[in-house]
Structure 1
Amino acid sequence: MDSARLALVAFFFLGMGVFGLLAPTRLVAPFRIALESADARTEVRAVYGGFGIAIGILLLAAIARTDLRRGAAVAVAIALLGMAFGRLVARAFERPSAFYPTWFYFWVELAGAGLLLA
């Protein structure tokens, strides 16, 4: 596993994580999600913020510890593929209004998984 690919995906997750912690309302604004309560903002901070940072740290640790590389890369790739799959399932029920944000992130998730599995 190439360290550069791990780092690229790690920095994507770290960026998402920091953005999720600092500006949860702005993070989900492209999806037209209104975070009207402290509970809602806390949920975005936890899932996008905390989880994103944890995944980023895991991938950075996998750069430093070669014994973690394969397992970390496969686990994160599967998580990304699960997210992309969820978008496909949602397509059976919903009709996203435009390419961005739904299908943009579908392709970002597939690209990230591809980088980790290549």
Structure 2
Amino acid sequence: MSKLFVLGAAAVFFVYGLLFYVIPLEAFEFVVDGSVTSSSGVTDMRATYGGMSVGIGIILFMLGRNPQTVQLGLVSVFVVMLGMAFGRSVGMTFDGNANHYMYLYLALELAVSFIALFLIKAGKGQ
């Protein structure tokens, strides 16, 4: 179960990153219901949303496919998702006007964090 969870998270990050490599403007519009108006902004989206997400996906894939590193993969998913949830919460608190996607993403980030934590604790007893 833990292996599939880490590999599933790897796939989500990888595909998400690929979308921002290939169609950054469309992906950004879908994700945040907004637009970017400069070429430097688009380049940064490709690098940050695209490159970092693909990188995280590859790291999680490598951790998830090796039985000796699955626990580290779970910890990685937990830390990344909780970090995203914290950053999103700070933004929603101080920046205001969050659209419904932000609440959905926050709920998903928290849910994935808690599932990862549950699997981490379950794996410690093995």
User: TM-score w.r.t. structure 2 length?
Assistant: 0.80
Q: Which amino acid aligns with 1:38?
A: S
Q: Which one-letter code corresponds to 1:11 in the other structure?
A: A
Q: Is the 8 A contact 1:6 1:59 kept in 2?
A: yes
Q: How does 1:102-117 map to 2 (within 5 A)?
A: 102-117=102-117
Aligned position for 2:27? 27
RMSD: 1.8
Larger Rg: 2
Letter in 2 for 1:95: G
TM-score, length basis structure 1: 0.85
Q: How many matched pairs?
A: 117
Structure 1 regions of 5+ residues with no counterpart? none
Distance 1:70 1:32 in 2: 35
In the other structure, the counterpart of 1:67 is 68
User: Counterpart of 1:4?
Assistant: 4
Q: 1:97 to 1:52 in 2, by over 3 A?
A: closer
Shift of 1:72: 2.7
Q: How far is the alpha carbon of 1:97 from its aligned partner? A: 4.8
Mark the CA change 1:63 to 1:32 in structure 2 (over 3 Å): closer, same or farther.
Answer: closer
